[in-house]
Structure 1
Amino acid sequence: MSDERTASGSGGPDILEEIEAEVAETLSEEELPPGGPAYQTVGALVALAVGVGGLVLSLDYGLGSLRRPGPGLWPFVISVVITVLAVVLLLTGRRLEDSVSFSRASVLPAVGLLTFVGLGVLMPLVGFEIPSLVLCVVWLRFLGGETWRSTITISVGTVATFYALFLYGLSIPLPHLLNF
């Protein structure tokens, strides 16, 4: 080993410089043409639909009170924030010029959302473990571009951690296949 790595002992600064250069290169390759007011409006309408949907669903869980919050209180608060911000964007967004046109990469958040909904649908049917593992694999490998090695390692570790945390640490009765 030569150059700065042996001088600094760990090679830390070189690695940071390499990462910064890689990120800068990736960002320069992904520059898209501006989208204009229509794209701002579409983005605001999607956020508004998510916010209103969250409001409706959180009410079904029950809000409770501030002293004894129900399971729907926190999702309700977040949904109110999303809804308010979406309305603000809808009203002011047509004058903004920072939107970009849709591309192939615009589909990735929709795929992420669909796999998350799939987790919610499948969990009561087949348990927590399999849908969670599939979600992690899809997000890491196919949406995040991770290697298979890191995808499998992180996915299994994440599911095992959440399994232990929710079922044993917090005693939350999630539907699950494995009984240890």
Structure 2
Amino acid sequence: MNPDQAALIAELEEDRPPHAGPVSQLSAAIVTTLIGVAGLAGSLRLGLGELTAPGPGLWPFVISVVITSLSVVLAFVGRQAKDTEKFSRASVQTAVAIATLVLLALALPVIGFEIPSLALTFVWLRFLGKESWRSSIVISLGTVIAFYVLFVLLLQIPLPRLF
């Protein structure tokens, strides 16, 4: 490692939040395990179907198995990790992103995908990504229009929609 690389690494280390520690790691593992188990229960309620005729719960079930498995591994192995960070102001952005996804899921069946998707994309770009107002509006509209054309018009997926 040359001196410039060492200086860059030292500078990056100064900007990092403090190490989270084993309690934070275990807490994160427990929360994600609970999310995975809830996903397993929900996907079973939807029905798994069969391999030749998959039900609506099959892919959520597979994803939930992966989440639960990785969370259990994190509970045992992650407590020794040294590259984890404490929760900070930046962690609030993740919470806001999750909250907006939950709102999207709640609004989708009621008012369709267009308005909630537009709002989600705009909030993520403007407030979480700090993009300009113009680019946030243009990209949000373009994204929803592209999804509408792709999923509704071309693939004819029966999404809940306003139009």
Task: Give me the TM-score of the superposition, normalised by structure 1.
Answer: 0.79
Tell me if 1:116 matches 2:115.
Answer: no
SS at match of 1:98: coil
Distance 1:61 1:170, change over 3 A: farther
Q: What is the CA-CA distance between 1:59 and the residue it aligns to?
A: 1.5
Residues 119-130 of structure 1 correspond to what in structure 2 (within 5 A)? 119-130=104-115
Tell me if 1:46 matches 2:31.
Answer: yes
Q: What is the CA-CA distance between 1:34 and the residue it aligns to?
A: 0.8
The residue that corresponds to 1:63 in the other structure is: 48
* Superposition misfits of 4+ residues, deviation over 4 angstroms: 27-30
**Identity of matched residues, %:** 57
8 Å Cα contact 1:39-1:99 kept in structure 2: no
Residues 1-180 of structure 1 correspond to what in structure 2 (within 5 A)? 30-178=15-163
Kindly tell me the number of residue pairs found equivalent between the two proteins.
154
Q: CA RMSD in A?
A: 1.9
Q: d(CA) in 2 for partners of 1:112 and 1:153?
A: 20
| Higher Cα Rg, which structure | 1
Q: d(CA) in 2 for partners of 1:160 and 1:59?
A: 33
Structure 1 gap ranges (5+): 1-23
Query: For 1:34-74, what per-residue CA distance to the aligned partner results, in whole angstroms no more than 9, with x for missing partners?
Result: 11111111221222122112112212221111111112111
Question: Which shows bigger deviation, 57-66 or 81-90?
Answer: 57-66
Letter in 2 for 1:107: V
Query: For 1:83-118, what per-residue CA distance to the aligned partner results, in whole angstroms no more than 9, with x for missing partners?
Result: 001001111222222211110111111111111111
